[in-house]
Structure 1
Amino acid sequence: MTELIEQIEKLVRELAASGATAGTLELHNGMGGYGTMFRNVQLFGMPKPGWPDTAVIAAAVRAELGAGADDLAQLRLRLLGDGYEFQYRCAPTHHHNYEWFEWESARQVVLDPTYRYPGHAIPVPSTDADYDDRPTDPELVDTVTDLVREYVELHTRQEGDAPQLGAANTEAEIAAAEARIGFRLPEELRALYRVVGHDYDDRGLLAFTRLMPLAAVAAAHLNDDTDTAQLEYGHGTIGAWKDSLFAGIDRIVFESWPHGVVRRISRSPKWLIIGTSDRDVTAVDLDPGPIGVSGQVIKFEPDGWYAAFRQDDSVLEVLRRTVEALRAGESVLEYYNAQIEDHPNRAASLRGAGESVSELPGAIAVQQLTVDGGDSFDSAELASLPLLRELQVRGVESVRLSVPHTVPLEQLHVHASRIDVEPLAGHPTLWDLTLSGATEPVRIGPLATLPSLQRLDISAIEVSDLEAIATLPTLRVLVATIGQWQSLRARDAVPAALAAAELAGDAAFDDEITWAASFGVDPTTASLPLVRGTL
């Protein structure tokens, strides 16, 4: 313990020397690399390059716990003046991804595991009542066979080597996969798997994606375990982070492109992922939007904020266009790029004086707007943005929140020195509101008139009528500081229908545990070693 105490105090001194007076520092060190995260740290100078040295203090933690040299060490240091408290834990080597242990487990409580934000419903597997065991259309199989043969010839001629394609699937293998998935595959996809088992080239048969083996497609369907599903597309699991009640700002499901071709949901039981490439996945959509077609090929980012877009009407069309591109002597990416190059910008921003909403290019397509700086902003200007779903206002001296009720705004984040929520009264679609930066107490009573308000973050403001929280009829998720939560408890004003609660801001580790326990939760941090000291 002596070595660990020495390393903790050394780290505290280095942090203090960098100008920190309060806040929490999180460190991770293991085979997967290392990471540093500051939470609510007040820094008056930047730490020197390479600081902190996680390896030394992580080694002391491993020695203290008798852990292996390659095990993940996760450490948390909280400063408050000249005092500190320190928690630590180790995990086996195979847990080197940092999702294994969430320090936020004591700060984030789920009370209703069935609740999801709008557009994030849990996709329930369904069985197609019309499923039958007909063999794949032989004419389609012949068509796909000819296209694949030509693809192989063109690819070999242009690249100098033949593509490595997997062996074809039998009808029995396809039927077995369909039984696990719960519905019959589109005929074009059936025909493709009757000819090709897989294609691990992400610039191959289907343009910019790696065609997964059919068995992996079946295992991956609606499965949040990427190891089981054998998916490789960057970080995270299929929708798990995007659908989390504690996701950062990625809570809104935006409209697809073209508008209306894909349903505005985070994922569907009828989206069958068949390929991956970097952060994106390729899926066949059997439950399209109002102007989409069943069997269309879509691309989306499972653990991110990008809206889905349609690549083509069917797997067969993607294959045809890939071959056409090669016939013309072009890269297969030419076809893919042609599909996305005309996408309008979904996000727009206004920065400083002299810019107005009326001058935004492509206003009809803007779904996300940031207003950053300027003397004033009147939300009435938003009437010209018919698809606006998310608005962030910051650095503006005077803000009038008179958002027209015809604007389908769902998420609003306002950071201003003075905030008046009265003009928001009665807005029909706003369900996610974050308020911050106010130098005077904010009155939130008018929010009770918002029929859709489900998430509210008041952690960065002082509220003059805190008891009004209990009057918000549809509130399901609340983010507040330890002092605000304690006041709500004292006034018996914690909403009874909360689905999730989050503790924000600085709080002692014991206060975190007590807060979680007030909801009947025993957080994992309650059993961790805790070291306190004073410099």
Structure 2
Amino acid sequence: MSEPIFVPSLQALRSFETWAPLMRAWAGGVEVGREGGDVRVAGAVGRDGWASSSGTRPRGRASAAERAAVERVRDALVVAGVESVTFSARIAPSGRTRLRVMGPSPAVESGPGSGGALLLVEGAVPEPWRRLPDPASAARPRRSADPAALERRLRERLPGAIGARDEEIAAAEARLGLPLPAELKALYRVVRGRWEDWEGDTRAGDAVYETVGCELLPLDAVYVADAASRPAPWRFAACEAVVTPPDSAVQGLVGSPGWIVFGDNGGGDRLAVDLTPGPAGRTGQIVMLSHEEFLGAELIADSLTDLVRGVEPRGRRRNRPRGRGEGSAVAHVNVAHLRSVEAAAHPDLEVLCIGVWDDPPVDLTPVVGLPRLRTLTAYPGTLADPRQIGRLTGLEYLEVGPAEWRTLLDAGAVPRSLAAAGITTHGLRDHERLVDLSNEILALWGRPPIVSTVVDGDLGSLPSS
């Protein structure tokens, strides 16, 4: 077990008084998980949520006392500058408690629950987040794109609007590092989008929404929707793949240096001028980036002029992987999709996810040597020989169960190409063993270990179950 390092900002997070109300609330509701009279409680608390391990979940909905107890831990997270932390506790009937707080660690990705990815290479991001747009040098704007006509229409519909001065537009271009498209300049010359310009008159803001077709961002809030602006946890991001069909108007990217965001649909989805269109797209088309998806965008207008006019685009092809069958970049082998690894094997395969499985464990031989395979996830017990993973020399993300990791470590077969890793636990309550395993993996890359802090305390007598 790693010795805790004293950091003043972590003092409250590693204090028994911080955790005692939550331990008391959860221990009092445990239905199963008693071992020799002791209660085992484990889980995670994050700024955006909390969870307990399977078998130790409190009865019913969260009570006011539980919510208050969680907030106490969350306050400590904020003080420590930490997103989330995992824990386990063994509570005797007398109330004597041994609490283990695991983390934080700069080598573990934070999240609302346990199971964050191990960050083996500092600063590394999954392949889709490194993908740049394909060249679109042959693309041209639609004939409907008409900055002068757009400006006239906007001035007619918004006669009292305050527009941006030339120096404000120049400042925005300097901040972004690229010139604004002509249509976007025409828009902001008429209305710069600042609420203070409307002096609290909500009708003026509504008029802009109705005229432009979206909630207009202030000029100084316009930004480039590159990949960094659309972050995602490794365990999800590594299972995505960039695919742009030849008939698509929009490239299926995470982000692009040519997506200039200027508006919002009112529900969190962002509107952008697209300067890097897909094979069937046009320069300056308007796309919408969903806040619920990591990849791609939807074509909503062929030009900013068409958006203001309310003209539908000629096509609305969204960008998604070609499906989960043979020949796709992402393959799911489980009871509901592909029924064999052979069916998933294809030179274009990037992501292989092996899920719930009723048949005998699978052989990975069919995917050994595939040139683009970079992600493998597999439920515990689904692999016939985990040592075969060592032959997948291009993997950058691997997520398997504790037993599979143990086999790889003992055989010296952990792929050194990995940039991040995950451990699939499915209710594992021995968090201390999980931390030890994680630290063994991190040590292969010389990464900082997860610190496990042991705190003893007394909760008082617990009610019998």
TM-score, reference length from structure 2: 0.71
Per the alignment, residue 190 of structure 1 pairs with 185
Segments of structure 2 that go 5 or more residues without pairing to the other structure are 1-15, 138-144, 195-204
**Map 1:26-425 → 2, pairs under 5 A:** 26-28=44-46, 35-39=49-53, 41-42=54-55, 47-51=59-63, 53-58=65-70, 76-78=86-88, 86-87=99-100, 104=114, 107-111=117-121, 113-117=123-127, 119-121=128-130, 143-152=149-158, 165=161, 167-198=162-193, 201=206, 203-207=209-213, 209-218=214-223, 222=226, 238-241=229-232, 244-247=233-236, 251-253=240-242, 255=244, 259-277=247-265, 278-302=267-291, 304-305=293-294, 307-321=296-310, 388-389=322-323, 391=324, 404=326, 407-415=327-335, 420-425=340-345
Per the alignment, residue 372 of structure 2 pairs with 452
- Is 2:431 the partner of 1:509? yes
Q: Secondary structure at the match of 1:15?
A: coil
Q: Distance in 2 between matches of 1:80 and 1:441?
A: 35
Among 3, 8, 27, which residue is 1:12 paired with? 27
How much has 1:10 moved relative to structure 2?
4.7
1:302-344 CA deviation, whole Å, 9 max, x = no partner? 56246412121221221233xxxxxxxxxxxxx6xx669x858
1:262-286 CA deviation, whole Å, 9 max, x = no partner? 1121111011111123221000011
Q: Distance in 1 between matches of 2:33 and 2:416?
A: 43
Structure-2 change in CA distance of 1:491 and 1:51 (3 Å):
farther
Q: Which has the higher contact order (CA 8 A, sep 6+)?
A: 2
- Is 2:399 the partner of 1:479? yes
Q: Distance in 1 between matches of 2:183 and 2:78?
A: 53
- Is 2:444 the partner of 1:522? no
Q: Secondary structure at the match of 1:203?
A: helix
Q: Distance in 2 between matches of 1:6 and 1:185?
A: 55
Structure-2 change in CA distance of 1:23 and 1:309 (3 Å):
farther
Structure-2 change in CA distance of 1:502 and 1:189 (3 Å):
same
Per the alignment, residue 357 of structure 1 pairs with none
Q: Secondary structure at the match of 1:16?
A: coil
Would you say the 8 A contact 2:212–2:308 is kept in 1? yes
Instruction: Tell me how many residue pairs correspond in the alignment.
Output: 406
**Percent identity for Structure 1 against Structure 2:** 21
Q: Secondary structure at the match of 2:236?
A: coil
Q: Secondary structure at the match of 2:415?
A: coil
Which amino acid is the alignment partner of residue 129 of structure 2?
A: H
Q: Distance in 1 between matches of 2:117 and 2:257?
A: 32
Per the alignment, residue 202 of structure 2 pairs with none
Q: Distance in 2 between matches of 1:183 and 1:309?
A: 23
Q: Distance in 2 between matches of 1:317 and 1:418?
A: 43
Would you say the 8 A contact 1:28–1:54 is kept in 2? no
Segments of structure 1 that go 5 or more residues without pairing to the other structure are 92-98, 129-138, 154-161, 225-237, 322-334, 347-364, 368-386, 392-402
How much has 1:90 moved relative to structure 2?
12
Q: Secondary structure at the match of 2:222?
A: helix
1:135-169 CA deviation, whole Å, 9 max, x = no partner? xxxx966533421133237xxxxxxxx8xx4x211
Q: Distance in 2 between matches of 1:473 and 1:72?
A: 34
Would you say the 8 A contact 2:42–2:431 is kept in 1? no
Would you say the 8 A contact 1:116–1:122 is kept in 2? no
How much has 1:423 moved relative to structure 2?
4.2
TM-score, reference length from structure 1: 0.62
Would you say the 8 A contact 2:354–2:377 is kept in 1? yes
Q: Distance in 1 between matches of 2:342 and 2:22?
A: 52
Which amino acid is the alignment partner of residue 284 of structure 1?
A: V
1:9-41 CA deviation, whole Å, 9 max, x = no partner? 551241335999988433457xxxx733345x1
Aligned alpha-carbon RMSD (Å): 4.6
Which amino acid is the alignment partner of residue 318 of structure 1?
A: L
Structure-2 change in CA distance of 1:419 and 1:191 (3 Å):
closer
Would you say the 8 A contact 2:84–2:110 is kept in 1? no
Which amino acid is the alignment partner of residue 459 of structure 1?
A: Y
